[in-house]
Copies of this chain bind each other. A is one copy, B any other.
Amino acid sequence: MSDIYRALGDATRRRIITMLKERSMTQKEIVEAFDISQPAIKKHLNVLLEEKIISATVQGKYRLYNLNLDMLQRAYNEMLHFIGELLDDQLASLKNYVEKGEMQDGES
């Protein structure tokens, strides 16, 4: 199974995703948007490529990266499903206090 949690688990990668949500970008453009080096960005891109959340098209000397929306959708669906399952079981009582915006027991 692909480890979607790994791909989304890093803030830089999530920011890249958010950027690519707006428009496709070359690696150079992405690099310029961050304060870290080109190889560092490339590694993040490689992770996202491995998980198939983005893909790249070659354009001369450029690599144009774009979101794989369906895969990103799957990734989030999987997470939502995980959480959702947890919530379903006790959703009735949860709904109640969520709406009231109050906790039932103390916190550390």
A contacts, CB < 8 Å to B = 5-6, 8-10, 14, 17-18, 21-22, 49, 52, 55-57, 67-73, 75-77, 79-80, 82-87, 89-91, 94, 97-98, 103, 105-108
Contacts and interface: CB of A to CB of B under 8 A. Distances in A.
Contacts of A67: 86
Contacts of A98: 69-70, 73, 77
A106 B56 CA distance: 9
Given A70-B94, A70-B97, A73-B98, 14 more contacts: A5-B9, A5-B10, A5-B14, A6-B9, A8-B82, A17-B86, A22-B89, A52-B108, A69-B94, A70-B107, A76-B79, A76-B83, A76-B84, A77-B98
